[in-house]
Structure 1
Amino acid sequence: MSFQTPLTIYDAIKNISSRKYLLPAIQREFVWSEEQIERLFDSIMRGYPIGSFLFWKVSKESVKKYQFYEFICHYHQGKSHNQKAVLMGDEEIISVLDGQQRLTSLYIALKGSYASKVPYMRWNNPAAFPKKYLYLNLLKEADDEDLKYDFRFLTEEDAKKRDENTFWFKVGDILNFDPQDPSQINDFLIENQLATNKFASRTLFRLSDVIFKRTLINYYLEEDQELDKVLNIFIRVNSGGTQLSYSDLLLSIATAQWDKRDAREEIIKFVDEINNIGRGFAFNKDFVLKTCLVLCDFNDIRFKVDNFNAQNMAIIQNNWDKIKESIRTSVELINTFGFDYQTLTSNNAIIPIAYYLYKKGLNSSYVTSSNFRSEREKIKKWLHIVLLKQIFGGQSDNILRIIRDVIRDNLNGFPVDIMKQRLKGTPKSLDFGEDEIENLLEYEYGKRYTFSVLALLYPTLDYSNLFHQDHIHPRSFFTSREKLLKLGVKPEDIDFCLENYNKIPNLQLLQGNINMSKSAKPFIEWLDENYKDDIAKNQYKELHYLSGLDLSIVNFRHFFNKRKEMMKDKLMQILMF
């Protein structure tokens, strides 16, 4: 391995565009944020070092032996994956072992775009991912004291907005200028009335200089063709520090060792598949890799390089279809329980479910078959309990091994009672005390564990439908002390109302369309409008723990405390079994 003559950024971008530079299958995917790319360009403009790179020269004889991927040009946070490179094998290529994130960032900024999710918009909304390009403000330095140059990812529409301190120049347009002909930049400045602005002129010429002329890509070149050696170099370079997540490293090793399938492509595609079930989940490669270790009954299920040896990877590869079926069925099952990416507070909690299905050889029919209805209810209750007890928090390997052993030895049904007995008296106990149950009712609207508490209180709902967490007494009533006083609440109860209106005793689960119609109406008014029949009204009250309660906002404190008692009694029946 030797140090080579440095390249310009322009040369590197040309090599990526022509597919001379590619990524090996052992590389992770692109993970840099917009801010990281913006800071990279600020560093380049200020003459700061951006680190060295490590390339692998793959001979034309070796190209056909391995799988390579192209760089991402137009990044989309929700669905961007590197595409397989189709190579003829008649020429050598350069494979990037270290520096992929930086090179991809340069490529996206100069030739592509970046689409990240807008906060609070749903993942399945196309408008949540506007296409943005990297721009540089030619009129003013960055406001951030850590930065000098104001680089920002903007939509084309936002970039058109100009004032006396703002002129956004699309960074990729610098490639349209001939670096040997400075008059082109001068003409641009004149055409845009920037010729007399020294900052604009210096900034644009400096951008051209750092892209076309300065040799900033310092790299080492490895020419050995043995994958084992290259893999060892890759691990040495990427496993120390935070440059590469451990799951990415392990996926890289699996990819190098699977001979019948492409592990990287299979696992990434499968993660996308299960994340698209129902209203969406947030599973990742870590979850799939960990589940593989558990389902294949390896003694050691820690994320260690040694556990991803050739023998173990062969077992996972040979059982991959069955593993996928078990995981997919588990996700489909918990989707019917009403879970999604917001309410499933621990992905690892469904690994025991997947293990049970795997050992029993059960497929997707398990989710709907009437033969398993009672067992599904038992699993649903167990899942809510383990999430509320947070037994998979922190280092969960030990608890996963214990539960796996219990399931493996008790396959006549999902062994909830035996698990409970096995964990009794340990820090991971499934037992609830009275104080713990009372504390569950302190969870607030929209918080991580609120759904599980409400779902235990509403065991008969069909969660294949969308249910909203709804405030019985609308939260719009609790915006100020003055509003509550106008509604007739006693002055001495105001603080209590403001402190507690958002907690579970003022919440219910309502089907989405019904909740929309309820809106912010006073609860008694809404109830009378929608349930004119006394029998129906009483059934509603019974379902929602409202029987015998004063439902007027005036007596909110009494309502809250009495409903809390009813809910606590119900939870004690459910949880203290």
Structure 2
Amino acid sequence: MSTITTFDSTVESLLDLLESIQECRTQLPDFQRGWVWDDERIRNLLISVSLSYPIGAVMMLQTGNPNVRFASRPIEGVDNVNQVEPERLILDGQQRLTALFQSLKLKAPVATRDKRDKAIKRFYYIDIDKMLDPNVDREETIVSVPEDRIIRGPGGRVVLDCSDLEKECEAGMLPVNLLFDPAGLLAWQTRYFSDSTKIAERSLKWQKLMTDVFPRFQQYQVPVIMLRKPTPKEAVCQVFENVNTGGVSLTVFELLTATFAAEDFKLRDDWEEKEAKLKRSGEIYNKVLADISSTDFLQAVALLATYNRRKAGDGVAVSCKRRDILQLTLADYQRWADRVTEGFIQAAQFLHEQHVFSARDLPYGTQLIPLAAIFVELGKEAHNVCVRDRIARWYWCGVLGELYGGATETRIARDVVEVVEWIRGGAEPTTVRDAHFAADRLFTLRTRNSAAYKGLHALLMREGARDFLSGVPIDIQTYYGESIDIHHIFPRDYCEKRGIEKAKYDCIMNKTPLSYKTNRMIGRDAPSVYLKKLEERKGVSAAVLDDILQTHVIDVASIRADDFDQFFEKRRLALLAMIERVMGKKVE
């Protein structure tokens, strides 16, 4: 029975592998992380090879697929002076192959790190006597020596001196970087035998090295898994993540960066420029966009690229999944990237209108992606009150219906299509139609872990909530200038002393946006007490204070009477009415 596979599995001699690396026929894809192995791991790897122990398979990708082009670079320590194009790229095994190449093939010291993560340079040696002694632990047979080839003990005392060829031979310390260098090994052997008084003893040792040690390195076989040329880009990404569990996770951004680099486009530089504009340009929208990632940005680009292909009749599904991002061409990116940047800015400005002012208070970061794409697609159409009202209704249905948690790529793509069509006269979007808020949900909204909790915090500000102390409506200036946060109305300590259930006093019905100063002034007092303090010490009239309380949908009579149960029930009904207004549907 024939089998279908996308890879070949074979073995290759370590010598051939290292030579292909030196000749740049084997390189790294540019998305691979840098060289990071420490001295101890390098030494242990050499010990494993000296014992013919397996060091694990390496995985490579054949080059030549025009649809899977990555910028590449040689392994650290290799000079690609002739700009050789690689025949294959290392997906898994970079650290092992770099360690072996630098220690066995280079004449320069290996740049590595010690146990304290301090940068050091090391040469590696075989201690001949220990290597040939079966009673010596093999861990003692490979020695790491500093860049000057001298190991010093306490007080600077020289413990081992390998600073020249004569001293290496005298100490019986053979550099491992001669094992694949026949001429260099012969020169070392000649010098090793030059002491006529020790030639017989050393000849026996050399013979044992040639039969028992050198072949273990020179004939060592490494398992190689080769992904064939037709392997698609998304499969390369998935395979790399599967085999790279102990390393730095590969994102679609890294993979696309390497792809575009093959066309001399620096995606990372371009993203960093756009990221700075979105997050660090000193604009008021920066704070709400603070958590946008490169992947979020590329998802918005993919949405618009696929949406416009669909409009052009290409039969492409609107989507922003990994495969869609990986299928983006450089032309796609360059067409949409600047517009997506502006789309995110418009999305942030819209969120400010909804009184979402920071990434911390953003109910769903994922909902920013379709929101930005919708603003790009609508263009000037979005500068219309009726259009913005519809966008707001869709937005709050997503937040209060809690529809943007978990895997959301399908909803994101569907919403872009359906919201735009709805605004242009089509049917209600699925998110608007399916959104549901259960009245009992209010009792379980207690922390920012819930999108609906953060949504109600913003809605109270949007509906005109004014700070108890300053009386100023909460906008972006007061939000940051007065450190607005969500605080208890009946203080926690007051509630606990009166036996009020935590499930009640700690939920959203007993919380509202207030300034830091106001919350400090409230302290642990009963509402009737702190309201009286506001009137007497701050000169706020009772009538004005009552008006302020009502902007928080707080029943004045019950809070002034410290009647928690009546306050709680009336505010519950008021919050439900607010939810019904913004969602445009009844709460059950």
- TM-score if structure 2 supplies the norm length? 0.57
2:459 match = 456
Q: Between Structure 1 and Structure 2, whose CA radius of gyration is higher?
A: 2
1:554 CA displacement = 6.5
1:326 CA displacement = 1.9
In 1, are the aligned partners of 2:393 and 2:583 still within 8 Å (CA)? Answer: no
1:444 CA displacement = 0.4
**Residue ranges of structure 2 left out of the alignment (5+ in a row):** 1-9, 64-68, 100-111, 127-142, 160-174, 180-215, 281-285, 311-315, 465-473
- Determine if the alignment matches structure 1 residue 355 to structure 2 residue 381: no
Instruction: Please tell me the root mean square deviation across aligned C-alpha atoms, in Å.
Output: 5.7
- Determine if the alignment matches structure 1 residue 262 to structure 2 residue 266: yes
In 2, are the aligned partners of 1:471 and 1:502 still within 8 Å (CA)? Answer: yes
Q: Aligned to 1:391, what secondary structure does the other structure show?
A: coil
1:471 CA displacement = 1.7
Partners of 2:295 and 2:263 lie apart in 1 by 21
1:242 match = 242
Partners of 1:173 and 1:455 lie apart in 2 by 50
- Determine if the alignment matches structure 1 residue 287 to structure 2 residue 300: no
Q: Which amino acid aligns with 1:242?
A: N
Q: Aligned to 1:392, what secondary structure does the other structure show?
A: coil
Q: Which amino acid aligns with 2:441?
A: N
Q: Aligned to 2:361, what secondary structure does the other structure show?
A: coil
Partners of 2:366 and 2:583 lie apart in 1 by 22
2:411 match = 399
- Determine if the alignment matches structure 1 residue 504 to structure 2 residue 504: no
Q: Deviations over 1:434-475 (max 9, x none)?
A: xx1341353003333211022223323424633311122333
In 2, are the aligned partners of 1:274 and 1:331 still within 8 Å (CA)? Answer: no
Q: Which amino acid aligns with 2:550?
A: E
Q: Aligned to 2:259, what secondary structure does the other structure show?
A: helix
- Determine if the alignment matches structure 1 residue 439 to structure 2 residue 438: no
- Give 1:109-508 correspondences, 5 Å limit: 136=115, 170-172=116-118, 175=121, 190=154, 232=231, 238-240=237-239, 242-243=242-243, 248-249=251-252, 252=255, 255-256=258-259, 259=263, 261-267=265-271, 270=274, 274=278, 276=280, 277-278=286-287, 280-296=289-305, 297=307, 298=310, 299-302=316-319, 307=324, 314-334=331-351, 337-362=355-380, 372=384, 376=388, 379-411=391-423, 418-419=427-428, 429-432=434-437, 436-449=438-451, 450-459=453-462, 460=464, 461-463=474-476, 465-466=479-480, 467-477=484-494, 484-485=496-497, 489=498, 494=499, 496-508=500-512
2:574 match = 566
2:14 match = 5
1:418 CA displacement = 4.4
Q: Which amino acid aligns with 2:238?
A: S
1:90 CA displacement = 4.3
1:301 CA displacement = 3.6
Q: Deviations over 1:409-441 (max 9, x none)?
A: 3555xx7x9435x5676xxx1354xxx134135
Q: Which amino acid aligns with 1:172?
A: K
Partners of 2:145 and 2:331 lie apart in 1 by 61
Q: Aligned to 1:458, what secondary structure does the other structure show?
A: helix
Q: Which amino acid aligns with 1:462?
A: D
Q: Deviations over 1:306-328 (max 9, x none)?
A: 64687865334333322332234
- Give 1:17-96 correspondences, 5 Å limit: 23-25=28-30, 27=31, 51-54=56-59, 67-68=71-72, 90=82, 92=84
1:531 CA displacement = 5.4
In 2, are the aligned partners of 1:334 and 1:380 still within 8 Å (CA)? Answer: no
Partners of 2:540 and 2:549 lie apart in 1 by 13
1:89 CA displacement = 5.3
Structure 1 residues 554 and 423, CA gap change in structure 2 (3 angstroms): closer
Partners of 2:402 and 2:567 lie apart in 1 by 30
Q: Aligned to 1:347, what secondary structure does the other structure show?
A: coil
Partners of 1:373 and 1:556 lie apart in 2 by 39
1:173 CA displacement = 5.8
In 1, are the aligned partners of 2:298 and 2:325 still within 8 Å (CA)? Answer: no
Partners of 1:448 and 1:42 lie apart in 2 by 50
Partners of 1:183 and 1:255 lie apart in 2 by 37
Q: Deviations over 1:142-182 (max 9, x none)?
A: xxxxxxxxxxxxxxxxxxxxxxxxxxxx1436646886888
2:554 match = 546
**Residue ranges of structure 1 left out of the alignment (5+ in a row):** 59-64, 73-84, 107-132, 137-169, 196-208, 223-227, 479-483
Partners of 1:474 and 1:50 lie apart in 2 by 62
2:197 match = none
Q: Which amino acid aligns with 2:331?
A: A
Q: Percentage identity across aligned positions?
A: 12
In 2, are the aligned partners of 1:443 and 1:503 still within 8 Å (CA)? Answer: yes
Structure 1 residues 266 and 542, CA gap change in structure 2 (3 angstroms): same
Partners of 1:247 and 1:186 lie apart in 2 by 40
Structure 1 residues 212 and 355, CA gap change in structure 2 (3 angstroms): farther
Partners of 2:144 and 2:44 lie apart in 1 by 24
1:97 match = 90
Q: Deviations over 1:73-120 (max 9, x none)?
A: xxxxxxxxxxxx9x99545598963248857999xxxxxxxxxxxxxx
Q: Which amino acid aligns with 2:298?
A: L
In 1, are the aligned partners of 2:374 and 2:419 still within 8 Å (CA)? Answer: yes
Partners of 1:46 and 1:557 lie apart in 2 by 74
Q: Aligned to 1:97, what secondary structure does the other structure show?
A: strand
- TM-score if structure 1 supplies the norm length? 0.57
2:583 match = 575
1:67 CA displacement = 4.2
Q: Deviations over 1:189-244 (max 9, x none)?
A: 7469xx9xxxxxxxxxxxxx99999989968699xxxxx97684876554236347
Q: Deviations over 1:340-367 (max 9, x none)?
A: 433334333233322332223349xx8x
Within the candidate set 516, 527, 540, 1:532 is matched to: 540
Structure 1 residues 378 and 69, CA gap change in structure 2 (3 angstroms): farther
In 2, are the aligned partners of 1:53 and 1:99 still within 8 Å (CA)? Answer: yes
